[in-house]
Structure 1
Amino acid sequence: MNQLICKNFEEFKTHVGKPLPTGEWITVTQEMINAFAETTQDFQWVHVDVERAKKESPFKKTIAHGFLSISLLSKMLMDLVVVESAVMGVNYGLNKVRFPHPVPVDSRLRLHSSLQHIEPYAENGIKITWDCAVEIEGIEKPACVAEFISLLFEG
């Protein structure tokens, strides 16, 4: 796996404006979609009713919730970036979120991202703005594009 590994925040900050390694593929299964539906209580048939989706959906199969694709950003970024001095990370928010293309069940997704901005936060933290695009294998439009904001703290 390609990873950006930095010893500390100072080294990490030198990567602002640069693309990160491309993420590994993650397959979105029906089990993941069903678990997300259970957690969010969003049981719209286009997500969970396989037989109805085959007959009535323009995609001819179920599709993942848009918010499922965005919820994978934390994992995808953690897989790509390691700051060895960090002891904790926290999601802070999102800007400019869009879902340009639905994610059909059994699609493979991977992250393309870069560090847009890093600023100090509290005594021992930084606030990071990431540019993120979630690619769907074989589909031109991304599943999700967003500015993802997180906090990282050193011990």
Structure 2
Amino acid sequence: MSTLFSSAEQLLAAQGQDLGRTDWLVITQERINLFAEATGDHQWIHVDPVRAATGPFGACIAHGYLTLSLANLFMPQLMQFANLAMGINYGSDRLRFPAAVKVGSRVRGHGEILRVENLGQALQAVVRMSVEIEGSDRPGCVVDTISRYTFNPLQK
């Protein structure tokens, strides 16, 4: 279930808010292979199931950056905006990959709004996104995303 933000005031007031969790997503070998094609990273631990079965993880694993990119998929499932003139991805801080995400794993996003700052024309929000792995105590990725949002003036 996503949270709807319709004004700068609502987003500012949401600092510290837990955004909840998304639905589960299965990490398939096809998704991993497509990411390998897009990035040119064809390391065997990602794309060779036979060799990976005897490797350190016992199966193919998702690329760390594939796991990171899921933050972009999960964010709009947790945060929706109305009356928004523009939203941009400004960057990220504190990126970690605590656990490998094996092929066939189910993952989901968990978000928390850490900070919201007023920059004048826009707001800057830092949202910690954790990519949780079903059955694991450690997430596959934790990243503090930084986004900037400009709302249209509210009509009175």
Q: TM-score, normalised by structure 1?
A: 0.91
RMSD: 1.4
Structure 1 residue 120 displacement after superposition: 2.8
Report 1:5-154 matches (<5 A): 5-54=4-53, 56-121=54-119, 123=121, 125-154=122-151
Give the CA deviation at 1:87: 3.7
Which letter does structure 2 place at the counterpart of 1:154? F
Identity %: 37
Quote the offset at 1:119 in angstroms.
1.6
Q: How far apart, in 1, do the equivalents of 2:143 and 2:81 lie? A: 22
CA contact (8 A) 1:9 1:85 kept: no
Distance 1:75 1:153 in 2: 21
Structure 2 residue ranges without an equivalent (≥5):
none
Corresponding residue SS for 1:112: strand
Residues of 2 paired with 1:14 and 1:46: CA distance? 44
Indicate conservation of the 8 Å contact 1:4/1:21, yes or no. Answer: no
Unaligned stretches of 5+ in structure 1? none
Provide the rounded CA distance (Å) in 1 between the counterparts of 2:45 and 2:105.
15
Give how far 1:122 is off.
Answer: 5.9
Count how many residue pairs are aligned between Structure 1 and Structure 2. Answer: 152
Residues 149 and 35 of structure 1, relative CA distance in 2, 3 Å threshold: same
